[in-house]
Amino acid sequence: MPHIHPKPKNNAEFLEVMSEIIFVSGFRWDLVHSRWHKIKKAFHKFSIDKVADEKVESLIIKDGMIKNQSKIKAIIENAKICQSIIKKHGSINNWIKEIQKNNKKEPLFNPAVREEMKKFAKIGNTTSRWLAYVTTRDKKLLEEE
């Protein structure tokens, strides 16, 4: 049974949570969980700048890595997206708070957190709900539309 992550406190924790969601999607949770410490080590504890500089070819051969090129590539791409968000907003958490604030003021004109999460590679309708919930703890985000 998958565990519920604590709310990410920093940028690396956000990338880690998102990466685990990406790996679990399409794989057995227990497989991902059993390898997670090695995957985390291979991804430099999800240091955004280090992951953004990685190459799929070097990560895929790491001990314990789940050998799925498209998921590894997506995590590298997502680290680069995180870099641009951090450059503009200071942190991922600031960005999420800004989305929530703008959505409260003008809900018809500002996308919700769940929609914004879809900007990341391999994050779609279902995974965006989970990622948005983990980062905000707003249970309404888990509901189907």
Contact, 130 vs 112, CB < 8 A? Answer: no
Has residue 128 got a pLDDT over 50? yes
Dihedral, 109, 145, 17, 24 alpha carbons, nearest 10: -150
pTM assigned to the model = 0.91
Residue 28 identity: R
More confident of the two residues 7 and 137: 7
CATH 1.10.340.30 fits 11-137, yes or no: yes
Instruction: Decide which of 135 and 5 is more confident.
Output: 135
- Answer whether residue 1 shows pLDDT above 80: no
CA separation, residue 19 to residues 14, 39, 43 (Å):
8, 10, 10
> Residue 128 CB: number of other CB atoms within 10 A?
21
Which residues, 6 or more positions from 40, have their beta carbon under 8 angstroms from its beta carbon? 16, 46
Token readout for 114 is 């769940």
Give residue for tokens 């391999």.
122
Cβ atoms < 10 Å from Cβ of 78: 23
Determine contact, residues 22/75, Cβ cutoff 8 Å. Answer: yes
Percent of the chain residues topping a pLDDT of 70: 91
User: Higher confidence at residue 72 or residue 126?
Assistant: 72
Q: What is the residue extent of each domain of the chain?
A: 11-137
Residues in the chain: 145
